[in-house]
Amino acid sequence: MAKVFTGASNATNKTIQAIDRKREQERRQMLSLLFKNAEELAMRLVQRLMDEHIIETTSDRALRETYVDVLRALSNMEDFDIQYKIAPLRNLTNDPNFISLYLTQYTIEDLMEHPKVQDVFGDDLEVYKVIDSVFDRIRPK
């Protein structure tokens, strides 16, 4: 019986598929952890944003509740909606955390409309680094 030739493109496709499967598995794992730990992560996030003087607010409790809602909603969102939201920031850093990118974009764009937020300071990269310092813990190594 003759051996089936698997060309270079077939091997490349298998490698790409394996990488895609691994990324999707990591994504599902991160979203699951995000949903389970939304309150704790929101509390840490708001505290870190305030400590680093990124957000000025009149009510940290209202801000925590807002972030809990966003984190829980994020865990049920379609991938297209997440990718659409993070598109302007996709090239901000090498190997970015998609959750941190989403929350960075949310903080910069949407949080300004919140009645308890007075101002958001810092550029995109500064905000991303502060947010990623909280959410790097749920990212598989």
For residue 71, how many other CB atoms are within 10 A of its CB? 22
Residue range of the domain that includes 114: 8-138
Q: Is 1 within a domain?
A: no
Domain presence at residue 125: yes
Bin 122: left if φ > 0, else alpha if -120 < ψ < 50, else beta: left
Q: What is the mean pLDDT of residues 47-65?
A: 94
Whether residue 46 lies inside any domain: the answer is: yes
pLDDT digits (tens, 9 = 90+) for 21-46: 988 898 899 999 999 999 999 999 99
**Does 3 reside within a domain?**
no
In a domain, 58, yes or no: yes
- CA nearest neighbour of 125 among 99, 139, 105: 105
- Cα–Cα distance between 119 and 141 in angstroms, integer? 34
Look at residue 47 and tell me if it is in a domain.
yes
What's the CA gap between 141 and 127, in Å, rounded?
22
Is 93 part of a structural domain of the chain?
yes
| Domains: count for the chain | 1
Secondary structure (3-state) at 115: coil
Is the per-residue pLDDT at 128 higher than 90? yes
Q: Is the pLDDT assigned to residue 17 strictly greater than 60?
A: yes
**Each residue's pLDDT tens digit, 58-81:** 999 999 999 999 999 998 899 899
